[in-house]
Amino acid sequence: MTTAAPLLPPAEWRDFLALTKPRVMTLVVFTGLCGMLAAPVPIHPVIGFAAILCIALGAGAAGALNQWYEADIDAIMRRTQKRPLPGGRMDRQSALHFGVGLSAFSVLFMGFAVNLVAAAILAVSILFYVFVYTVWLKRRTPQNIVIGGAAGAFPPLIGWAAATGDVALLPVLLFLLVFLWTPPHFWALALFVKIDYANAGVPMLPVVAGERVTRTQIGLYTIPMAAAAVLPWPLGLTGPIYGVAATLLTAWFALLAVRVATRTTHVDDAMKPEKALFKYSILYLFATFGALVLDRWFA
């Protein structure tokens, strides 16, 4: 016997937009754009625009499928309670159709309008975010964001592949930079929204291993992240504009990370250093990728 789904009014465009996690996607798309602009061969502006559009649509589609699958835990967490599905403004089937349709469209359009390598990597990132991170790992292990976080690191590779039809050492280092940046980015936030994840039964690191371990892990991941950020310069893959900017930006990141790593939380602590690291992590990635493009233009 099936139970009738409650009748909901048609979702508004704003709700479909919210399904794509637009704020997070701005950085995802920016890293893709910078990967494209850092490539040694110029891309035709129309093809370049199509590639960026496909990254945005693919990432948005992945976000929609993530929200389709996670409506139950999103309803429990304060931060996510007002999303279109837990907020009761959209039915799950609409979210599923939107996510699957947009995923297929973004990959096919990338394949036809840009090239097959970029389309293949875009497909892998969508599948990775949905199946490896959301469905498989998120509810099972605190390593969820380390492994699953790779999904968000693919866009620089996609952008580069859109321009060159290939991958190379520089975009692989950019992949590694975002991949290794993700744990400090997320765990800094998880330290101050720990209670939400605990209530929802999501095994994020501060919930299952405690704050001390999380702080140490933030410090540890910052070391290889710093190496991935700075290495393109000594390897001769970028010039000094990127080299100096990345070194300074990364030094500040490391300082904030050390402050978080070496600290103990007190009762009623406002967690200012953790919030500072989380906020700076976003600015950091924008600025480092921006510096890469400036380096290319002014070299």
Ligand X SMILES: CC(C)=CCC/C(C)=C/CC/C(C)=C/COP(=O)(O)OP(=O)(O)O
- Which residues make up the interface to ligand HEM (CB under 6 A)? 23-24, 27-28, 31, 79, 133, 145, 148-149, 152, 178, 182, 185-186, 189, 282, 285
Amino acid at 264: T
Q: Does 191 contact ligand X by CB under 6 A?
A: no
Number of residues that bind ligand X (CB under 6 A): 20
Which uninterrupted H or E stretch holds 83?
none
Q: How many CB atoms lie within 10 A of CB 69?
A: 20
Q: Does 31 contact ligand X by CB under 6 A?
A: no
Nearest CA-CA partner of 87 in 4, 196, 11: 11
CA–CA gap between residue 107 and residue 126 (Å, rounded): 9
Residue 164 is encoded by which pair of tokens? Answer: 């060159």
Helix axes 92-113, 116-127, angle to 10 degrees: 160
Which of the listed partners (ligand HEM, ligand X, none) does 58 bind, with a CB threshold of 5 to 8 Å by partner kind? ligand X
Please report how close the Cβ of residue 79 comes to ligand HEM at its closest, in angstroms.
5
Between residues 217 and 238, which has the closer beta carbon with respect to ligand X? 217
Please report how close the Cβ of residue 25 comes to ligand HEM at its closest, in angstroms.
8
Question: Of the candidates 11, 37, 50, 62, which one interacts with ligand X according to CB under 6 A?
Answer: 62
CA–CA gap between residue 269 and residue 260 (Å, rounded): 13
Between residues 149 and 159, which has the closer beta carbon with respect to ligand HEM? 149
Please report how close the Cβ of residue 44 comes to ligand HEM at its closest, in angstroms.
26
Three-state SS letters, 187-232: HHHHHHCHHHHHHHCCCCHHHHCCHHHHHHHHHHHHHHHHHHHHCC
Between residues 32 and 243, which has the closer beta carbon with respect to ligand X? 32
Which of the listed partners (ligand X, ligand HEM, none) does 59 bind, with a CB threshold of 5 to 8 Å by partner kind? ligand X
Which of the listed partners (ligand X, ligand HEM, none) does 261 bind, with a CB threshold of 5 to 8 Å by partner kind? none
Residue pair 259/214 in contact by the 8 Å Cβ criterion: no
Residue pair 11/96 in contact by the 8 Å Cβ criterion: no
Please report how close the Cβ of residue 189 comes to ligand HEM at its closest, in angstroms.
5
Residue pair 173/192 in contact by the 8 Å Cβ criterion: no
Please report how close the Cβ of residue 149 comes to ligand HEM at its closest, in angstroms.
4
Residue 224 is encoded by which pair of tokens? Answer: 């290889």
Which of the listed partners (ligand HEM, ligand X, none) does 55 bind, with a CB threshold of 5 to 8 Å by partner kind? ligand X
CA–CA gap between residue 236 and residue 242 (Å, rounded): 11
Phi, psi of 279 (to 5 degrees): -65, -45
Q: What separation in angstroms does the CA of 28 have from each of 272, 285, 299? A: 26, 10, 25
- Taking CB under 6 A as the binding criterion, the range among 42-50, 63-71, 162-170, 207-215 that sits at the site for ligand X is 63-71
Which of the listed partners (ligand HEM, ligand X, none) does 23 bind, with a CB threshold of 5 to 8 Å by partner kind? ligand HEM
- Taking CB under 6 A as the binding criterion, the range among 149-157, 165-173, 248-256, 274-282 that sits at the site for ligand X is 149-157
Residue 151 is encoded by which pair of tokens? Answer: 């999904």
Q: Does 126 contact ligand X by CB under 6 A?
A: yes
Between residues 27 and 110, which has the closer beta carbon with respect to ligand HEM? 27
Phi, psi of 156 (to 5 degrees): -60, -35
Under the rule (CB under 6 A), what is the footprint of ligand X? 21, 24, 28, 55, 58-59, 62-63, 66, 70, 80, 122, 125-126, 129, 138, 151-152, 154-155
